[in-house]
Amino acid sequence: MMTHADEGWPGRSWYEAKSNDRWSGSGRLAGDHAHDVVIVGGGLAGISTAVGLVERGIKSICMLENELPGAGASGRNGGFVFAGYSLANDALIKQVGSAEATALHGWTRDAVGLVRNRIDRFGLACDVNDAGVVLADWFGDDERLARFADRMRQQLAFGLEFLSREQLARHVNSPRYGAGLFEPASFHFNPLAHILGLADWLREKGVAVHERSPVRRVERCGDGWVVHVDGGRVRAAEVVLTTGGYDRTLRPAVQRALQPIATYIAVTEPLGSRLSDLLPRPVAVYDTRFAFDYFRPLPDTRLLWGGRISIADRRPAAIRKLLAGDLQRVFPELSGVAFAQAWGGWMSYARHEMPLLGRCRDGLWYGLAFGGHGMATTTLAGEVLAEAILGQTDRISRFQRWQPRWAGGLIGRGVAQSRYWWLQTLDRCRDWRGCP
Ligand SMILES: Cc1cc2nc3c(=O)[nH]c(=O)nc-3n(C[C@H](O)[C@H](O)[C@H](O)COP(=O)(O)OP(=O)(O)OC[C@H]3O[C@@H](n4cnc5c(N)ncnc54)[C@H](O)[C@@H]3O)c2cc1C
């Protein structure tokens, strides 16, 4: 029998364990096929593109996934559905100005609404919790947080509700935090159940969703494409590449811009009534540090705890150890509580921290690099790509300022890790000195 210590990266997620391997898709792709559109990669970017196309009347779609839908980051993440990009809001405003940033950020808020709306419309059973998402201040600087909320309201039309220390304590019972900000309309859910539900919906609409069908090559052929898997191929007029941080070989010209970055999650044993003592309101929480902790209650009174960013693919045993210390810093009363499950996943980042949405010179579409803010932005990307494939390119053109620039290969990975250590050191200094 396999023990925790035997598990390798990335580990089996709690969501997978709970799903009872319920996916029954179209099987591996075999033989010759033809479709209007082929989507490579069954994460939320690919699935959302397919949903966006079906909702616009295109049904001849083939999705090819290396493992199962949601096997990458989309089915093993924290389950926070909130607005914004990986690029910080202040940096976005600085780069494009307040008016353009308001439009771009507004699209992610619309996407939060779209994820929620599809859950209702398609009847997806994915443990939605509408209590929302709260940003808790790690540094105890209430005024700075209030100024940030004002700035977001004025420059981004983004209304965050300020929670005083006393109000935050009514959401999260930890001495660790100062004030907080509540994001209206945000929510949290089981991301794997969500994506499997969307994949089922696609199959009902006639989309071919092929699991365990790794794409080996994508070739131009006349006006269209041929996409090759072992033992099969598909001809298509359009191909969309949505392989997240899990492939950098199919189109190196775009994918060499990606930096796969790991983050880790662990889930406690059921805590019973102790959980509502710690989280009097069942909100999802993250904090104001660069490499923040993130946590949320699960329906069976477990606490899901996530954190850290790194280039390292750690084993679940190491993730347990690493996150146990982080958990105890916030909730000392949980010292000694065991993590029942631990796992990790790859996020994909571009150096500029914005999504890569566009079309290669040879005509191949791509939607990549959603970083740690992927649930709303992949849904937005699916809409933007579906519009563009059907000839409406005004929104995709607004992402062209963020091009796929080389991430520096192995040296770039070293630089990224050094930068993370540096930013984490700055956070620690700020914490020790209590300075803003
Ligand atoms: C641990 C963790 C916690 C996170 N928490 C949150 C959160 O709480 N909220 C949030 O908004 N974001 C979160 N994120 C980020 C979010 O999950 C991602 O940004 C988002 O899921 C990316 O979706 P994607 O479709 O681009 O990539 P993925 O979900 O990684 O999908 C890519 C897919 O492509 C497949 N693939 C790769 N190569 C091939 C090939 N050659 N042929 C066929 N298929 C291929 C892979 O198997 C994979 O399924 C988290 C990420 C991680 C890892």
Predicted confidence (pLDDT) per residue in 252-284, tens digit: 999 999 999 999 999 999 999 999 999 999 999
Q: At what angle do helices 98-122 and 142-156 cross, to 10 degrees?
A: 90
Q: pLDDT band for 7, please (50, 70, 90 cuts).
A: confident
Single-letter amino acid, residue 153: R
166: in domain: yes
229 Cα: distance to centroid of ligand 1 (angstroms)? 21
Q: Is 282 within the bounds of a domain?
A: yes
For residues 81 and 115, the answer to whether their CB atoms sit within 8 Å is yes
Give the containing element (helix H, strand E) for 199. Answer: helix 191-204
pLDDT recorded at residue 431: 76
The chain-wide mean pLDDT, for the chain, equals 94
∠ CA 57-58-63, nearest 5°, is: 140
Does residue 412 form part of some domain?
Answer: yes
Centroid of ligand 1 to alpha carbon of 406 (angstroms): 20
- CA-closest residue to ligand 1 atom 50: 77
Alpha carbon dihedral 270, 271, 276, 279, in 10-degree steps, equals -90
pLDDT score at 3: 54
- CA 169 to ligand 1 centroid distance, Å: 33
Residue entry with tokens 């916030």 = 330
Residue 5: the pLDDT is 55
Write out residues with Cβ below 6 Å of ligand 1.
Answer: 40-46, 64-67, 71-74, 76-80, 214-215, 242-247, 250, 263, 265, 306, 344-345, 347, 370-375, 378
- Structure token pair of residue 413: 């990975």
Q: Is the pLDDT of residue 200 over 60?
A: yes
Cβ contacts of residue 182 below 8 Å, gap of 6+? Answer: 132, 133, 134, 160, 161, 163, 171, 283
CATH number at residue 109: 3.50.50.60
Q: If you measure from the C-alpha of residue 189 to the centroid of ligand 1, how many angstroms do you get, rounded to a whole number?
A: 16
Report the C-alpha gap between 18 and 270 in whole angstroms: 14
Q: Mean pLDDT lowest for which of 13-22, 259-268, 305-314?
A: 13-22
Pocket mutation for ligand 1, best pick of 243, 251, 380 (most atoms within 8 Å of C-beta): 243
Asked whether the predicted pLDDT for residue 73 surpasses 90, the reply is: yes
Burial degree of 26 (CB within 10 A; 0-12, 13-18, 19+): middle
pLDDT given for residue 380 in this prediction: 98
Tell me whether residue 228 is in a domain: yes
**Looking at residue 435, what is its pLDDT?**
44
CA nearest 42: which of 20, 65, 61? 65
Written as one string, the DSSP assignment of 345-406 is: EEEEE-TT-S-EEEE-TTS-EEEE--TT--HHHHHHHHHHHHHHHTT--HHHHTTTTS----
In this model, does residue 95 exceed pLDDT 50?
yes
Atom 9 of ligand 1, nearest CA residue: 80
What's the pLDDT band for 1 if we cut at 50, 70, 90? very low
Q: Is residue 436 part of a domain?
A: no
Parent domain of 224: 4-431
Phi, psi of 182, deg, nearest 5 = -105, 130
In a domain, 205, yes or no: yes
Task: For residue 362, report the distance from its CA to the centre of ligand 1, in Å.
Answer: 25
Query: Is residue 433's pLDDT more than 80?
Result: no
Distance CA 379, CA 81 (A): 11
The residue whose CA is least distant from atom 2 of ligand 1 is 77
Identify the pLDDT of residue 436: 41
Identify which of 16, 38, 65 to mutate to test ligand 1's pocket (most ligand atoms within 8 A of the CB). 65
3-state secondary structure of 205: coil
Total number of domains constituting the chain: 1
Are 403 and 392 contacting, i.e. CB atoms less than 8 angstroms apart?
no
Torsion over CA of 291, 296, 300 and 301, rounded to 10 degrees? 100
Residue 383 lies inside a defined structural domain of this protein: yes
In this model, does residue 242 exceed pLDDT 80? yes
Average pLDDT over residues 104-131: 98
Ligand 1 pocket mutation pick from 14, 23, 116, 347 by most atoms within 8 angstroms of CB: 347
Residue at 375 is within a domain: yes
Which has the minimum average pLDDT: 297-306, 375-384, 419-428?
A: 419-428
How far apart (Å, rounded) are the C-alpha atoms in residues 181 and 78?
Answer: 19
* Of 403 and 414, more confident: 403
Q: Report pLDDT digits (tens) over 323-372.
A: 999 999 999 999 989 899 999 999 999 999 999 999 998 899 999 999 99
Residue 6: band (very low, low, confident or very high) from pLDDT cuts 50, 70, 90: low
- Ligand 1 centroid distance, CA of 245 (Å): 7
Report residue 184's pLDDT band, with 50, 70 and 90 as the boundaries: very high
Strand (E) or helix (H) holding 310? strand 303-310
Query: How would residue 408 be classed by pLDDT, with cut points 50, 70 and 90?
Result: confident
Query: pLDDT > 90: what percent of the chain?
Result: 85
| 236 strand-pairing partners | 35, 225
**Residue 228, φ and ψ in degrees, nearest 5:** -105, 135
Cβ proximity of 158 and 175 under 8 Å:
no
Tell me the mean pLDDT in the region 40-53.
Answer: 98
Give the predicted TM-score (pTM) of the model.
0.96
Residue 269 has a pLDDT of 95
> pLDDT tens-digit profile of 185-194?
999 999 999 9
